[in-house]
Amino acid sequence: MSSSGRTTEHGGTIGSRVRDAIRAAQVTQKVTAASVDMTPDALSRSVNDKRAFTSSELVRIADFLGADLRYLVTGDRSDRREWRGQPNPQNTKLPRFEDDEVFLDQLRHAYTQSGTIHPTPPLPRTPHELRVGLGPQFLEALDNRLGQIGVDVIRARELMRPHHLDVEGRIIIAIPTSADWTQSNVDIAMHLAMAAVGRDNPTDQDVISVADELLMPENELRSIDWNSISRAALCRILRRWGVPTRALGARLEQLRIRTPKRVRRNLAMSTSDLFRLQSEADRTEADRGKRSARAEKKGLPLTDLLIASSARTFPRWLINAHLQQVLQGMLPPTTLAWMLDVDVDTIELPVAS
């Protein structure tokens, strides 16, 4: 990827186009940085052409802002219509160009069609109260735990960035499907925080503080002996809290918690690379007979969490409400098929006469 300071043939720089896209999306650089797994300083230097964006950063920024990745990189809008909805099959990281608002309008319609919408009860305002309400180990069943407090989670591949909305008092968090379980947790935490403190006209920092404390409680961070922590223990912390390495690194820096160089080096790696490195070490230890497979690990296997994060998801109650109305002949199966992501012709139900 070229330097963000390089002027492309269509004029401007990558940094200037990203800065304009952030303004057009009506979000701040702080919120953008937190949502795309960058530090505010790194994003600021990049949009001011003092640091090069990496390819993965540009992909995440385009996804979050709903921007045209090709335009951010090249400054060229001429081929946008040809690219719309037609990602290159040779590059699965190219963004989808469907308009999020189309999906969100369909989502609102699905809710209003359902008949009875139960408004979300007042949400806890503090991170501690949210954690208590969600219960222990809530990240392993996050969608269900949120449903229990009246917040629905929608996951769909059509979305390019996360949203939260209110339909007749029901709070809904809609995020893109992703195999990056940890980033999905961060997206949900950010939008849950926005919904929880939204009536208080919060600043961006208020929202980030609630989300950070929800996922990475300060008292627990300060209770850890970072000087002696092993890489295996660090991986267990990331796994238990369900956060990416960069998010934990940024949180430690924000709280001014000192960590040794080896911990900072581990947190500078991508989450998948760190887990992969530790998995290789675990297999080596198992081969040497030192331990079978880290029996102290608890909770759902990562595979299950990744599958759940990347699967299309709608609330069971919403699907059931549509199913019952279709069975009674009150609704066509169109919206039900859309939620299930199947062809409407494949839905054959005994419709009441």
pLDDT for 75: 72
Give the Cα separation of 173 and 185 in Å (integer). Answer: 11
Tell me the mean pLDDT in the region 87-115.
Answer: 66
44, 22 contact by CB (below 8 A): no
Q: What residue type is assigned to position 118 of the chain? A: H
pLDDT digits (tens, 9 = 90+) for 24-66: 888 999 999 999 989 999 899 888 877 767 666 788 898 889 8
pLDDT for 199: 59
pLDDT for 134: 94
pLDDT for 314: 97
Q: Which burial class, exposed, middle or buried, applies to 28 when counting CB atoms under 10 A from its CB (0-12, 13-18, 19+)?
A: middle
pLDDT digits (tens, 9 = 90+) for 273-317: 999 998 888 777 665 565 544 444 455 577 788 888 899 999 999
b/e 201-235 (16+ beta carbons within 10 angstroms → b) = ebeeeebbbbbbbbbbbeeebeeeeeeebeeeebb
pLDDT for 62: 87
pLDDT for 98: 44
Q: Where are the alpha helices (DSSP H) in 174-257?
A: 181-197, 204-215, 218-223, 231-241, 245-254
Q: Which burial class, exposed, middle or buried, applies to 134 when counting CB atoms under 10 A from its CB (0-12, 13-18, 19+)?
A: buried
pLDDT digits (tens, 9 = 90+) for 216-252: 999 999 999 999 999 999 999 999 999 999 999 999 9
pLDDT digits (tens, 9 = 90+) for 154-205: 999 888 889 999 999 999 999 999 888 999 999 999 999 999 887 556 677 7
- What residues contact residue 78 under an 8 Å CB cut-off, 6+ apart? none
pLDDT for 93: 37
pLDDT for 152: 98
Tell me the mean pLDDT in the region 86-109.
Answer: 57
Q: Is the model's pLDDT at 23 over the cut of 50?
A: yes
Pick the residue with more confidence: 159 or 120? 120
Token couple for 153: 């989670």
71-75, 173-177, 211-215, 284-288: the lowest-pLDDT one: 284-288
Q: Is the model's pLDDT at 5 over the cut of 50?
A: no
| φ, ψ dihedrals at 93, nearest 5° | -90, -5
Q: What residue type is assigned to position 130 of the chain? A: L
Per-residue pLDDT band for 116 (boundaries 50, 70, 90) equals confident
Per-residue pLDDT band for 110 (boundaries 50, 70, 90) equals very high
Half-sphere CA count of 269, side-chain side, radius 13 A: 17
Give the Cα separation of 250 and 245 in Å (integer). Answer: 9
Q: Which residue has the tokens 């709903």?
A: 66
Token couple for 204: 């961006």
pLDDT, averaged across the chain: 82
pLDDT for 94: 36
Give the Cα separation of 78 and 60 in Å (integer). Answer: 22
